[in-house]
Amino acid sequence: MPALEICNMKKTILKRAGKCFLYLVMAVLAVTIVLGICTKATGKVFGAAVMWVLTDSMEDTIPARSYILVTSVEPKDIQVGDIITFYSRDHAISGSLNSHRVIEVIGDHEEFRTKGDHTPMAGTDTVKVSDIVAGHLRDLPVLTCL
């Protein structure tokens, strides 16, 4: 095969590979934009929301300054051991969102006692159903390093 033909074949292959790569980048960008718009509009993507964990109260389970994926949860479905996100009634951080593990279900799922995995003792305040925002789905370690 002449050298010119081989050179032209290489150029054609490189052009096709470049186009494939460009289409892939465009598709990823389009999905990212759509997810960004969904998140801005509703705060959720596919029924879930991304939240930022500020403190170390859940270390080693959830690192401080990391992201988690949460979703709506029915109080009757919450069990001991689950991690929930709620508006805190603790005087030090009252009204702030907090994510802790449920250590006790009180009554017929009317209230919950929670504790941070890294916290030595449970708080004295209970979490009322009206304060619950979401249940923990999973950590998002990929976002933590951003």
pLDDT in tens, 76-106: 999 999 999 999 888 777 778 899 999 999 9
Answer for the pair 73, 132: CB distance below 8 angstroms, yes or no: yes
The C-alpha atoms of residue 137 and residue 50 are separated, in whole angstroms, by: 10
Torsion angle of C-alpha atoms 91, 94, 100, 102, degrees rounded to 10: 70
For residues 94 and 88, what is the distance between their CA atoms, to the nearest angstrom?
5
pLDDT at 139: 83
- 83 three-state secondary structure: strand
Q: What pLDDT, on a 0 to 100 scale, did the predictor assign at position 41?
A: 46
**Could you give the CA distance from residue 11 to residue 136 in angstroms, rounded to a whole number?**
51
What's the pLDDT score for residue 89?
84
CA terminus-to-terminus distance, the chain? 50
Looking at residue 32, its pLDDT comes to 66
Which residues of the chain, if any, have pLDDT below 50?
41-42, 146
CB 101 within 8 A of CB 85: no
**Residue-level pLDDT at 60:** 82
Grouping H, G, I as helix, E, B as strand and the rest as coil, residue 61 is coil
Residues contacting 72, CB < 8 A, separation 6+: 47, 134, 135
